[in-house]
Structure 1
């Protein structure tokens, strides 16, 4: 393993994080807050450490798939450890484990929080908290690739390890150009949402941070009652539309720029995405009529929460924990399904669900007609065996991590709903769970530090498609074994 190259790239990532902390530093200065000093201290330390690591001398500058996965996993852990420092040293989140959990939740665009009073945070901290969503939405390394192009060989390994979905490819011949196109589209949609929110009467600061949270499909708000604070049908609909837009595969937006409408309409995943949203919204609208009294209000809250959960954003405009059981079960299903591959959303991804359903269908056909030739196709093209194997492996590993997390959290002796939905919402990067404790009007503050560490791992694993975090643990195990052998030889 090329350890020196791993540290060099980590150094660049840490320097990058130090540089972007200048934005919340400026926000703190604008609002004349004392928290500005904590951002500049953290930024200075991060840039200094990153500079030392980035300038390690190494003759071999090549990295391959294994190093790519490890770099991605380590990068996300390190940026979360560093990103938690302003919260901790300022005293606004006095417990470092809590600050780490909040930052992991930010970068992974989960939106689960330990804060009982969000509005007590300074503007600079609120900006940093939501900005982590925006950076993490498209990916920390994708952002760095857009700014600092490297050799093509290593770029693709990094991008494949970080961008969510079963298949990742280049939009153009150069990987760093692909990264720039993706972030260009991402930034453009964010600006458009800010403008629409301003038209709805939302203040500028609020519009910017909520657009960050929507774009990253993270769900951090700056009010204790989330988007419900604004009590505006217009704002609810704007946020709903943009949550759904950010849940679509960004490759389709590139095709839209090329005016390749034929390829867009051929997207089977997009059709499934629209169908699931329409069907689930319709059922929940009818099911919640008794709560809201009329179709308009019922549709307003139903479409918002369906969009929020399927895109794993996590915003709330109502306490869906009070909805009928059918509606809650449907939202629970959406937590697992998630958004489209190649979007900023989490979950298992619709494309994987499609593959698993079609695979099950083919298996049933095989049982009925053993001699029949069955092929799993997506958009009329046969699915590669490697993609199929990865989808099966992903599902199994997803289930294993979920059950292991449930068992670990069960030692805390919480109620069954909290114990089951806490790992599910964190692994799916959704945000709120179910029940009074961690539901849409609750938070994760009452959980133990051990449970928060377990759930932090779940959030990182869910955002990075599971395998980078698994490989990181294998690599750490190998390093420990090598170190132990050296000690024994002495």
Structure 2
């Protein structure tokens, strides 16, 4: 019988190796994309190339380049970086997160190479299936845009940045450039689907709609889309002239925010405070787990609400045993602990980001909205980042802070924190020697 302490040590080392590989791969990808920008001859500053590469791979719509001044091939490359970043998000969640999450017990109890090979074989097949669904969804969005009247370059690039929840556009005024109700409906619907999990898309393709009704995550996601669309429609009815256009724009902005895509069709910084706060909340909540979208994630919100409910019940009934459930299944206590830890890290990262942006001369509204949006890998903000603004309105040091937040949001914070903690621990051990 194997020693449990040795099993834990082996698991710890393999986890650190996996997460270190993840962080190094992500960093290398950003550097490589930045080099491509510099070699293109159209981007001349290293910091601009790094920021655009980071925004691209982290699927954040906040860039520094004027897309209307770029060549067609660089626009396609720019959109491709977001598609690659979305694929990376999906694969990291599938192949790396189980190393210290869902498949931990399976890894510990698997005996011999045969069962471990079976485990990784299953992951490999699932990764292939994920990429196929992701690619198919992207192709469908491209075709829809093309049929709605977009040119080939626009259909390809917007298809890539919609399916990946990236949000890069080929025009400074984003989707208002097309002045097409059909294109906006297609984009809003595609963003809504992109913010769901790939499993949801697979169930829809198979016609297994009944499974969706058993998912508490998709119920909350759909409720957020519906309620926020209704509220935005009511709040902006008079300012936008009312009618179907107001409903369409409300649906577009709601799905763009919740899926953390970041496409724009209006400057919502001029609205009342209530819709502004609502949109920032949607950006913070973010998309469903298993999607390319960012944010805190809907499933974590459900678990946090379950923890709060349990604590309230226990305060009233100290002897009560109240499990936290998601989609009817009880969540393990170690998973709940990880969610609470992630919540602390997420809020702490946002707070440090706000401090960093304000420390370099930006106003509080810009800092709060910019830090939240960058950490959620969305893009739109308020203050200096309102409307159709890009990151050039910020000082270079403030942009560097947002780059770090984008990176943390893309990798879901944990891998970076674990690798940094392990590195600091190793340095301390070397000093003691």
Fold in common (TM above 0.5): yes
| Separation (CA, whole Å) in 2 of partners of 1:172 and 1:199 | 41
Cα distance, 1:483 vs structure 2 = 6.8
Q: Is 2:29 the counterpart of 1:79?
A: yes
Counterpart of 2:50? 100
Which consecutive residues of structure 2, in runs of 5 or more, have no partner in the other structure? 1-9, 105-117
Q: Is 2:169 the counterpart of 1:231?
A: no
TM-score, scaled relative to structure 1: 0.79
SS at match of 2:385: coil
CA separation of 1:78 and 1:480: change in aligned 2, threshold 3 A: farther
Count of matched residue pairs: 410
1:312 to 260, 263, 273: 260
Cα distance, 1:484 vs structure 2 = 6.2
Q: Is 2:403 the counterpart of 1:465?
A: no
Q: Which deviations, in whole Å up to 9, do the C-alpha atoms of 1:234-269 show, x marking residues without a partner? A: 000001111111111112233445554433321110
**Would the aligned equivalents of 1:97 and 1:452 in 2 still touch at CA under 8 Å?**
no
Cα distance, 1:473 vs structure 2 = 2.1
Cα distance, 1:440 vs structure 2 = 3.0
| Separation (CA, whole Å) in 2 of partners of 1:167 and 1:309 | 29
CA RMSD of aligned residues (A): 2.5
CA separation of 1:297 and 1:258: change in aligned 2, threshold 3 A: closer
Q: Is 2:144 the counterpart of 1:206?
A: no
TM-score, scaled relative to structure 2: 0.89
Counterpart of 1:128? 77
Cα distance, 1:475 vs structure 2 = 3.8
| Separation (CA, whole Å) in 2 of partners of 1:484 and 1:122 | 52
CA separation of 1:226 and 1:329: change in aligned 2, threshold 3 A: same
Counterpart of 2:322? 374
SS at match of 1:228: helix
Counterpart of 1:10? none
| Separation (CA, whole Å) in 2 of partners of 1:230 and 1:259 | 33
Counterpart of 2:304? 356
Q: Is 2:392 the counterpart of 1:454?
A: no
2:333 to 372, 378, 385: 385
| Separation (CA, whole Å) in 2 of partners of 1:209 and 1:132 | 10
Which consecutive residues of structure 1, in runs of 5 or more, have no partner in the other structure? 1-59, 144-154
1:340 to 281, 288, 313: 288
Q: Which deviations, in whole Å up to 9, do the C-alpha atoms of 1:58-106 show, x marking residues without a partner? A: xx9x971111111111111110011101222334222212211111110
Q: Which moved more, 1:345-354 or 1:444-453?
A: 444-453
Cα distance, 1:416 vs structure 2 = 1.2
Matches within 5 A, 1:384-463: 384-435=332-383, 437-463=384-410
| Separation (CA, whole Å) in 1 of partners of 2:429 and 2:323 | 45
Cα distance, 1:477 vs structure 2 = 2.9
Counterpart of 2:278? 330
**Would the aligned equivalents of 1:196 and 1:238 in 2 still touch at CA under 8 Å?**
yes
Q: Is 2:181 the counterpart of 1:243?
A: no
Cα distance, 1:167 vs structure 2 = 5.7
1:263 to 207, 211, 215: 211
2:96 to 126, 145, 158: 158
**Would the aligned equivalents of 2:353 and 2:371 in 1 still touch at CA under 8 Å?**
yes
| Separation (CA, whole Å) in 1 of partners of 2:68 and 2:190 | 24
**Would the aligned equivalents of 1:69 and 1:157 in 2 still touch at CA under 8 Å?**
no
